[in-house]
Chain A
Amino acid sequence: MLRATLRSLLARKLRLLLSGVAVVLGVAFVSGTFVLTDTMSRVFDNLFASVSQGTAVNVRGVSALGSAGDGQSEPVPQAVLDKVRTVDGVAEAVGQVQGYAQLVGKDGKAVTTGGAPTLGVEYGASAKQQALTLKQGKAPAGPTDVAIDAGTARKAGFHVGDTVTVLLKGPARPFTIVGIVGFGSTDNLAGASLTAFDTVTAQKYVGTPGAYSVLAVAAKGGVTQTQLAQRVSSVLPKGFEAVTQTAATAETTAQVKKGLGFFSTALLVFAAISLFVGGFLIFNTFSMLVAQRTRELALMRALGASRGQVTGSVLLEAVIVGLFSSVIGFGLGIGVAFGLRGLLGVLGIDLPSGPTVIATRTIVASLVVGVGVTSLAALMPARKAARVAPVEALRESGPAEDRSLTKRGLSGLVLLLLGVVLLAIGLSNGNLKLVGLGAVASFLGVATLSPFVARPVTSALGAPFAKLGVPGRLGRANAVRSPRRTSATAAALMIGLALVSAVSVLGASLKTSTVKIVQSSLGADYLLHTDTFSPFSGEVAKALRGQPGIEAVAAFRFGEAKIGSSKRQVQGVEPDALLQVLKLKVVQGSLPDLSSGLAVSTSAAQAAGLKVGDEVPVTWGRTGLHPLKVAAVFEKNQFAGDYLVSGTTFDANTAQQLLSVVAVRTATGSVPAETRAVVDRAVQPFPNITVQDQAQFVKAQATQVDQLLNAITGLLVLSVLIAVLGIVNTLALSVVERTRELGLLRAVGLQRRQLRRMIRVESVVIAVYGALLGLAVGTAFGWALVRALHDQGVTEFSVPVGRLVAIIVVAALAGILAAALPARRAARLDVLEAVAAT
């Protein structure tokens, strides 16, 4: 039996190769993701360990929000540092400062980091506890000196001796670059920009004068980190804590790993999609192989092979294909990881160098996933093979389709229903795992039900081709003749295209909703923010206030606080300007009372059972518990969020006193061109700020949505490619199966060109059918997503007709492409051999 399996494998190399490719690609995606994130994680571990080598204990303010080291805690005053220095066992204690500083490039624009932090830090005097390494020039040692990281210097073209403007939380200031530094052994910290000042300058401009973000304490010989932490702890005033460096490093690496975890999960989702599509391809290939081998299998049964042996032989074939593909995919994945790393480097995200990490988990996962998907997909065909009766060996007729349609219909309906229910529950709870499961079940359900509609739909799709002559008519007939095969092939394409259309629908709805939200909730004429909505200096708002034609300036600060016992997004803003820049409907209470209180949206008030006058316990990261009275309840407004406090309250309770958005209302009767000029002039010293009127804001949001849409579509291209491969495979197998028909057609005078056209038509009909299924399912998914996100501001449902039509056109083109090889093969068939083929 084993020998028979191996023979059959070798005899169908090409077929299995094609289906194997699907597994190879999926597994490569999986192993590439693991190798890349493992390598990055290891590299960061090493980096953080090496830069904090000399430090034994960290002293910092306790964060009341429980997220230690997030920069939201109280700065450590000089007095505490002085006290720590006297503790027995302390070899050295230095204060470190960290905050916002961003360079202005030589082109006058802010040097951006693509979302990574723009950090301002102190360049400490201690050689022992220094994370930065001086690469060129000297350390900053004066009120106008800075050192910048080598990565940013290279990117922005700065050299030692250059003058540079640095954007700070206060007014921007000019500095002289005196040194180029690295972070440990690397040029920068994963894309973040570093600007280092001497300690006093850092305190003045990026931190708090006379205070530090954190103290780094070195131990004398023979004192352990834990011992020192205990001793230091005993002298600290309330609100400060001493943590061992091991614990602090663990916190930092945990954050990095969390970030990497998101990254790898996102990539793995796309890998899973590819593998799911690949599963269809495997299923289809094995189904067709089993059908074609009916007589051979029946012969084996007639010769005494048991059902189990037949199932086993087909499954063994699948396992061998899976194993082979997994090994190749695993190897390819290492290459993919290198490629991705190179890509990140090109994007300016310098990753510290380090050895490539190939964890045992990666090897195991690759093999398990590859072999698992292949065998799972081959399970049904294998069981079908076992049902071949020995008598089939003697029958003349070709493979027949069995007709247990009722069973199929029922199981399809059950799957679809299950999928819809899981989707509904998942979406309403925000449980993404359920959403994923629901999507998988829905896809399987639609694929199972698809043969019921395949015949009429493909027949209708092929009708225009049938009008164009015999090749079109025959191609259409071939696409229609085996609804199951057509369905399984089309289903693979459906999955990728459904996801593309779902995000397209969501994107279009987002865009339409943005327009609506801006119209209904925004009163401001101009919005000011940075490109990445990163925090910026409060000076921007000051520069605008009192300018001619400007009626109101509202500075929005975004932050977190605990309302009651749960963490919420809180915005701080000037109460008097609020009503001018937002179309806020106050339901209860009044906004001017906000100055010392809290304003809550109707939905949040309802959820927490709050009304005006209630006292709410609000816990801030820096200052801890401060109860606030509810001053007003307002109707849900996407710009206001759920919780509003006054700017004064916000600044008093948070460490980072930066703005996220400034909204400007112009005076009635002012000329837009003039006010725009006023605003532009006022923000001129802040090149990181973008000024947008409402239309520009809407357009910018739309552009962002499109970018995200394109990125997701790009990641889905792989699954679509695999599906196209599936069409190639089906057509190739059909060509083999229909050899005699093709021979006859050639014998009675069908030209090669016509034969190729016939196969192209079949391919296009299958592809467009898959696209239609995808569009239908995707639009339904999109609708469900939009409904689920209604409270997040996606209030409008919009179908991007143009984009969806484009998807169908692309699918048709993919069909033509997929037909190329099988059509060539069919046209090359030797007429004589083909006619006589069995």
Chain B
Amino acid sequence: MSSTTGSSTVDTIAVRAVDVRKSYGKGDTAVLALAGVSLEVPRGEFCAVMGPSGSGKSTLMHCLAGLDRLDSGDIAVGDASLVGLNDKALTALRRDRIGFIFQQYNLLPTLTAEENITLPLAIAGRKPDAAWLAEVIAAVGLADRLKHRPSEMSGGQQQRVACARALVTRPDVVFADEPTGNLDSRSGAEVLGFLQRSAREFGQTIVMVTHDPVAASYADRVVFLADGLLVDEMRDPTAEGVLDRMKRFDAAHAALDQAAV
């Protein structure tokens, strides 16, 4: 997995997208979701992807995570290119190198919190690294909830289980899709704080799609997507800065709408 040439970009870039294009539908009704996006996320970075509805941010994440196929371009997670892989190889790659956090928690109701956390390892037939598992569980603050089932936990607790599940395989990258979308602000803050610490303390690369400026402010960098193109980025963002930037999108859209009328 890790290259011997310590200084090469392969070793320092966790996810790379090169001129990614993706459209849905055919002929006249085709919608261009990604119109040539290039992006590099260095190892250990917590990167937020923002943009108005329909900007292509979810599509980008799905393509980066090997859940959706590209029309053209290249995507690599670590040193592995996703292009041309069949379903079996993609599945194995997701299992071994990618972690997921969804808006809807998506835990298995039949499994306990602990079983949910170790599920990707169990699928791969690997034993969890006990020390790492304990560290992750401590970090999400679930040590006393391990034997509980999802139905016995609050939304925030469930999402923290999902976070622990994403981290437990030490993936090259964790993709989080609106992880706080279903949570109240306090639970949301806990989850975001955990993601931030994962990046800073464990060096975990995280790509998070969100439309919430406050959530984005936890990231190291925010990239802005509009109409399928990467249009801007912001380092060490603040909620206010992000909000201002987003308002400009709204203004541009309003102007566009005006022009159309």
Is A477 an interface residue, CB under 8 A from the partner? yes
Within the complex, which residue of A478, A481, A752 is in contact with B88, where a contact is CB–CB below 8 Å?
Answer: A752
Question: How far does the alpha carbon of A151 sit from the alpha carbon of B107 in the complex, in Å?
Answer: 72
Question: How far does the alpha carbon of A744 sit from the alpha carbon of B110 in the complex, in Å?
Answer: 13
- Whether the Cβ atoms of A744 and B62 lie closer than 8 Å is no
| Chain A 799-838 interface 0/1 with B at a Cβ cutoff of 8 Å (1 = within) | 0000000000000000000000000000000011001100
Is A10 an interface residue, CB under 8 A from the partner? no
Question: How far does the alpha carbon of A478 sit from the alpha carbon of B110 in the complex, in Å?
Answer: 7
Instruction: Enumerate B131-163 residues with CB–CB distance to A below 8 Å.
Output: 151
* Known contacts A748-B119, A750-B123: A835-B110 contact under CB 8 Å: no
Question: How far does the alpha carbon of A608 sit from the alpha carbon of B100 in the complex, in Å?
Answer: 85
- Whether the Cβ atoms of A745 and B122 lie closer than 8 Å is no
Please indicate the chain A residues that have their CB under 8 angstroms from the CB of B109 in the complex: 481, 741
Is B111 an interface residue, CB under 8 A from the partner? yes
Question: How far does the alpha carbon of A749 sit from the alpha carbon of B100 in the complex, in Å?
Answer: 10
- Whether the Cβ atoms of B165 and A748 lie closer than 8 Å is yes
The chain B residue with its CB closest to the CB of A744 is: B106
Please indicate the chain A residues that have their CB under 8 angstroms from the CB of B100 in the complex: 744, 747-748
Please indicate the chain B residues that have their CB under 8 angstroms from the CB of A750 in the complex: 91, 95, 123
Please indicate the chain B residues that have their CB under 8 angstroms from the CB of A477 in the complex: 108, 110-111
Is A301 an interface residue, CB under 8 A from the partner? no
Is B104 an interface residue, CB under 8 A from the partner? yes
- Whether the Cβ atoms of B106 and A749 lie closer than 8 Å is no
The chain A residue with its CB closest to the CB of B166 is: A748
* Known contacts A469-B125, A745-B108: A751-B88 contact under CB 8 Å: yes
Question: How far does the alpha carbon of A666 sit from the alpha carbon of B91 in the complex, in Å?
Answer: 80
| Chain A 457-486 interface 0/1 with B at a Cβ cutoff of 8 Å (1 = within) | 000000000000110011001101100000
| Chain A 384-398 interface 0/1 with B at a Cβ cutoff of 8 Å (1 = within) | 000000000000010
Please indicate the chain A residues that have their CB under 8 angstroms from the CB of B236 in the complex: none
- Whether the Cβ atoms of A743 and B62 lie closer than 8 Å is no
Please indicate the chain B residues that have their CB under 8 angstroms from the CB of A835 in the complex: 67, 102, 104, 106
- Whether the Cβ atoms of A474 and B110 lie closer than 8 Å is yes
Please indicate the chain A residues that have their CB under 8 angstroms from the CB of B94 in the complex: 747-749
* Known contacts A748-B119, A749-B95: A481-B87 contact under CB 8 Å: no
Q: How far is the CB of B98 from chain A (nearest CB, A)?
A: 8
- Whether the Cβ atoms of B110 and A470 lie closer than 8 Å is no
Is B44 an interface residue, CB under 8 A from the partner? no
Within the complex, which residue of B91, B104, B119, B151 is in contact with A470, where a contact is CB–CB below 8 Å?
Answer: B119
- Whether the Cβ atoms of A740 and B122 lie closer than 8 Å is no
- Whether the Cβ atoms of B67 and A832 lie closer than 8 Å is yes
- Whether the Cβ atoms of B96 and A832 lie closer than 8 Å is no
* Known contacts A741-B109, A744-B106: A831-B67 contact under CB 8 Å: yes
Q: How far is the CB of B158 from chain A (nearest CB, A)?
A: 12
The chain B residue with its CB closest to the CB of A749 is: B95
Q: How far is the CB of A212 from chain B (nearest CB, A)?
A: 82
| Chain A 728-768 interface 0/1 with B at a Cβ cutoff of 8 Å (1 = within) | 00000000000011011111111110100000000000000
Q: How far is the CB of B166 from chain A (nearest CB, A)?
A: 9
Within the complex, which residue of A473, A744, A751, A832 is in contact with B91, where a contact is CB–CB below 8 Å?
Answer: A751
The chain B residue with its CB closest to the CB of A473 is: B122
Instruction: Enumerate A470-510 residues with CB–CB distance to B below 8 Å.
Output: 470, 473-474, 477-478, 480-481
- Whether the Cβ atoms of A749 and B108 lie closer than 8 Å is no
The chain B residue with its CB closest to the CB of A400 is: B151
* Known contacts A744-B108, A748-B119: A832-B102 contact under CB 8 Å: no
Question: How far does the alpha carbon of A750 sit from the alpha carbon of B122 in the complex, in Å?
Answer: 10
Within the complex, which residue of B88, B106, B110, B111 is in contact with A743, where a contact is CB–CB below 8 Å?
Answer: B106
Is B68 an interface residue, CB under 8 A from the partner? yes
Instruction: Enumerate B145-187 residues with CB–CB distance to A below 8 Å.
Output: 151, 165
Within the complex, which residue of B67, B68, B104, B123 is in contact with A740, where a contact is CB–CB below 8 Å?
Answer: B104
Q: How far is the CB of B116 from chain A (nearest CB, A)?
A: 10
Q: How far is the CB of B258 from chain A (nearest CB, A)?
A: 33
Please indicate the chain B residues that have their CB under 8 angstroms from the CB of A745 in the complex: 108, 119, 123
Please indicate the chain B residues that have their CB under 8 angstroms from the CB of A740 in the complex: 104, 106
Known interface pairs A749-B120, A832-B62; 12 further A-B residue pairs with C-beta atoms within 8 A, sorted by A's residue number: A470-B119, A480-B110, A481-B110, A741-B109, A743-B106, A747-B100, A749-B95, A750-B91, A750-B95, A752-B88, A832-B68, A835-B102
List the 10 closest pairs (A to B, CB-CB), nearest first. Answer: A749-B95, A477-B110, A744-B106, A470-B122, A748-B120, A749-B94, A470-B123, A751-B91, A481-B110, A747-B100
Pick 13 A–B contacts, CB within 8 A, sort by A: A469-B125, A474-B108, A480-B110, A740-B106, A741-B106, A741-B108, A741-B109, A744-B102, A744-B106, A748-B120, A749-B91, A749-B95, A835-B67
